[in-house]
Every structure is written in C-alpha cells, then in structure tokens.
Structure 1
Amino acid sequence: MSEGEFATSILDDYAKCKKSDNFGIGGSVLCDAEGTLKPGTKNQLNKLLDDLQSKVTCNCDNGCSRGNDLTSDFVGLLIVSNTNKTKAALRPLSESAQFIYEDSLLGNETCDNGLLIVYLEDQQKLATYRGGGNFLLLTDNDVNKLHKASNIQQFSETDQAALRYLLTHYDTIYS
C-alpha cells in the first residue's frame, strides 16, 4: 500500500456488506465489498451457495432452528478479502471468521448449521469456518487437490473453479 492509504479490515467489509447488501441469512450470500469479482463469477457463486442450502441437511440432535423467523436450512456465506484487510482487523483470521460466523447467526447454541468461506484474493487461498472453533485455512496442497478434483468435473483450472467444486461437493468433502 502507498503511504497515507490504509485498507479497511475484513470486519469493516463485513459490516459494509451487511448494511448495504443485506449480507447474511435471508439476504445476500456473497460479500465482495470492493467489487473485485466478475459479474459472471458472482452469479455462479451465488447460485452455488444457494444450491448448498438444499444439498446439506441439518444433522443436529436438537434441530437447526435459528429462531426469529430465520431459515433453519444450512447456509453458506462467502466473503472476498485480502491479506491487508485480514491484518487490519488486528486479530487472527480465525477470530475474524468466528466473529462473522456468529454475528451472521450461522449457528446457534446447540447446532452449527452453516459455513463461512473467506477467499483471500491476493494469495488465492480459501479459509472456512464451520462453528465450534472449526477453522481451516486450506494449504496450497489442499487448493491443488481441489484444482485436480475440479478438472475431473470439466471445470477450468482457476481458483474460482476450485471454489465451485468445494461448494458443489461440500456435503461429501466435510462429512
């Protein structure tokens, strides 16, 4: 960054998307505060995140009700960020992800029925948070495995394709 310029944090971007785009349960499932994704990519990711709701079922003993007239369906949210913004939050990415997950009501006291995905665009890395401290920053090896798996499914070799594969096959990858 140049002198005098500072990045907003991932948490600032989350707050912006929540306020302006209704990011979260019952609203937009994709937060791209700076508009860095192409419109076609956004459309594909929105569709895949919406499809995720119908593919993954609640496996909690007490059900997955979130109350307050919110859906009890599995919900996947994706936020696009970068290294500068995660550092600007002044906390580890895992803590920022946990905050966003909890503030978005992806889980409740007895059931974690959601997935937060963070795409670090500058590093082309993915991180996931599934509640209960389940944070995972995918390694280059993990992303390469997703690339290989996505190529088997006739996707192009891009990180967006790997992400599409992750979302499409979430129920089998994490079960």
Structure 2
Amino acid sequence: MTELAGMHAFGELIEPATLKIERLLPGPVERVWSYLTESDLRRKWLASGTMEMKPGAPFELVWRNDELTDPPGKRPENFPQEHRMQSRVIEVDPLRRLVFSWGERGQVSFTLEPRGGEVLMTVIHRRISDRTNEIMIGAGWHMHLEVLAAALSGGRTEPFWDGWARLRKEYERRLPA
C-alpha cells in the first residue's frame, strides 16, 4: 500500500470546500461496489437507504453509528442515535463511479479503480459549508472508511465514536484555518 492510499491516510482539501480521501481496499471491485450501493451492506460501514441506481432517483440515508462497531464508543452529546438525510442519485457508472447529493447543498462522489486484487476508492465531498463541517466531515469519512476496510478484510477497528473524536482533533490540526 502507498502512504496516499494507506488505511490511515488523511483526507485533504483539494480546493475550497472540497475534501478528498482515498483508501486502498480489499477487492474485487464488484464486492466494494456492493458495499457502496446495497443498503444492507452500506449500513455496516456508513448508512442504510435503498438507492435506485438511476440519475435523479431520490433516496434517504439513515445513520446509526452506534451499530457500526462493538462497542460503539462514547457518542458525543449533541449527536442523536439516528440521523436521516434526503439525497438524490446524480451519476451512476456501475463498478466505477457513484455520485449523489449530500442533503440540499453538498455532493459526494465515489470512484473505484481496480488495482490487482485491491480497489482504490476515491471519495470527494464537495460544497462543505464551513471549516467546522470540514473537520467533522473529514473525521467522519475517515472513520467510516476504516470501518469499511475492516468489514471488507474481516478485521476490526477501534470503537466508532472514540475513533471519530480522535480523528476530529487530528483534522482540526491538519486542515487549514
């Protein structure tokens, strides 16, 4: 694994309000795609929500981060047990690229690139509202992708909320003010 795509590589701002984070994941690409697009598999690392793989199709993401790791760690007081967000599919290129809206303002793209028996996943989150959200979103994607890597490899990761809190401090330090 390269440092850039290593399991602990940090996201970076590639332009104002745009975060990019990469992970080299265990393949094959069909398996990674299914963890990205199928609600029952996506809920194991990010959020549930049935998506119709068609541009323009609306869907709802439902986060239950307490269920991602056992134990879940200490959830911050201002975070609910469940969070819901309305989204819309923007682009679908099966096994290669998925783009959807992030609520009303943002957009997230996932690009998958086979690399031998592994898959390079590039996540780009656009139109992040402010630095506070850049830090929270950076830590969130980082931790969610660690949970995905553990799910794909059959491994374990630290408790979700403990990892998120640790990463939030690190993104506070790393992202420019």
Task: Name the TM-score, length of structure 1 as normaliser.
Answer: 0.32
RCO comparison, higher one (Cα < 8 Å, 6+): 2
Looking at secondary structure, tell me which structure has more helix per residue. 1
Task: Name the TM-score, length of structure 2 as normaliser.
Answer: 0.32
Looking at secondary structure, tell me which structure has more strand per residue. 2
